[in-house]
Amino acid sequence: MNRKFLTEMFHRFNSSGQFSGIVNMDLTAIPHWGDASVLENNLSGKRGKALKSVLALLTQDPDSGIFCYSDAEVKEKQRAECVLQFVDFWRQSGESPSCLIFDSKFTTYQHLERLDRDNIKFITLRRRGKRLINEYEKIPRERKERIQIEGPGRKYKRVEVYESEIVLPKPECSLRQIVLSDHGREKPSFMITNDRERSAAAIVRQYGRRWNIEKGISEQIEFFHLNSFSSSIVVKVDFDLTMTIAAHNFYRIMAQYLKGFERETSSSLSSKFFNNGGQFTIDNDKIIIHMKKKRHLPILMEALESFKEPKIPWLDGRKLVFKLWTTL
């Protein structure tokens, strides 16, 4: 049931141009707070320790902010395969994702080689050790390049990069490596990708937008209470996750109609537009909703005009009409 809902939601959003094909991917641990739990221990990045929890996969379009897929039935021993399962899910649409973006612990080198073999572009980080850092520090400064990266607030920052071709072991796979330094962190970052067409600046900028999914997960926890589930039955947690994903996506779609508020969080949208009182009357063919005056209500009323009084099937086909609540 969850998969059928996610598939239909994916097709609707994809057909309306909400997905760019670039996908941010991440795993999150949804804790179970009950005394008796048969769930696995998973590392919770938010709490910095392992907890009895459900491990869930979330994927998001970085442009629209819409979550395109979720799965709360991930097992620790199978987590590396999530990326391939998601590709299979996307390919049901008849296409392949154009680029997958994830962190260094998301999958294995074997699965990176599989993605490369299937012509699926990806950007990720390489796990750095002392040997990698020592090798990089031996590279002469003149072989490195200074590039300009667009940052938050339309500011630009000049960073140092070094590009090379590397071969990953077991199985062998040739990839493009971009080492990033002088970027505000003590140690260099080793970025690897099979995208050899875009510039280094574009690759770095695209990976930098991976924080959008972490922001989205934080929003799921803080506003949609993703961590408040108490059930140890995974299918129930998966259903709850699917519903919070749907709610998040509805907020993101509605935000596109609210001029000047497209990037607002769900919490902010709720406070400014949707958390409102009023009254309603039911006629034979319509339901009229009278909303109380509020600071941002004119913007919402203008946005609602785009929907042209939709008919609601589960309300006997009545039209929904929104009006300002006026009193004498």
Same domain assignment for residues 222 and 314: no
Specify the higher pLDDT residue, 272 or 46.
Answer: 272
Same domain assignment for residues 10 and 56: yes
Give me the pLDDT at residue 262, please.
93
In a domain, 184, yes or no: yes
Same domain assignment for residues 142 and 290: no
Same domain assignment for residues 55 and 102: yes
pTM tops 0.85, yes or no = yes
In a domain, 75, yes or no: yes
Same domain assignment for residues 249 and 282: no
For the stretch 269-292, pLDDT in tens is 999 999 988 899 998 899 999 999
Same domain assignment for residues 212 and 244: yes
In a domain, 290, yes or no: yes
Specify the higher pLDDT residue, 232 or 208.
Answer: 208
Give me the pLDDT at residue 255, please.
95
Residue 42's CATH number: 3.90.350.10
Q: pLDDT category, 12, cuts 50, 70, 90?
A: very high
Same domain assignment for residues 222 and 311: no
In a domain, 19, yes or no: yes
- Measured distance CA(179)–CA(183) in Å, rounded: 11
In a domain, 213, yes or no: yes
Question: Across residues 144-173, what is the average pLDDT?
Answer: 80
In a domain, 121, yes or no: yes
Same domain assignment for residues 12 and 111: yes
Output b/e per residue, 152-176; b: 16+ Cβ within 10 A. Answer: eeeeeeebebbeeeeebeeeebebb
For the stretch 98-124, pLDDT in tens is 999 999 889 999 999 999 999 999 999
The last residue of one of the domains, among 253, 288, 312, is 253
Give me the pLDDT at residue 152, please.
57
Give me the pLDDT at residue 85, please.
95
Same domain assignment for residues 157 and 201: yes
Same domain assignment for residues 316 and 247: no
Arithmetic mean of pLDDT over the chain: 88
Give me the pLDDT at residue 193, please.
96
Give me the pLDDT at residue 96, please.
93
Same domain assignment for residues 10 and 90: yes
Residues of the domain holding 303: 276-324
In a domain, 224, yes or no: yes
Same domain assignment for residues 283 and 171: no
Q: pLDDT category, 35, cuts 50, 70, 90?
A: low
- How many structural domains does the chain have? 2
In a domain, 97, yes or no: yes
- For residue 230, pLDDT over 70 is answered with no
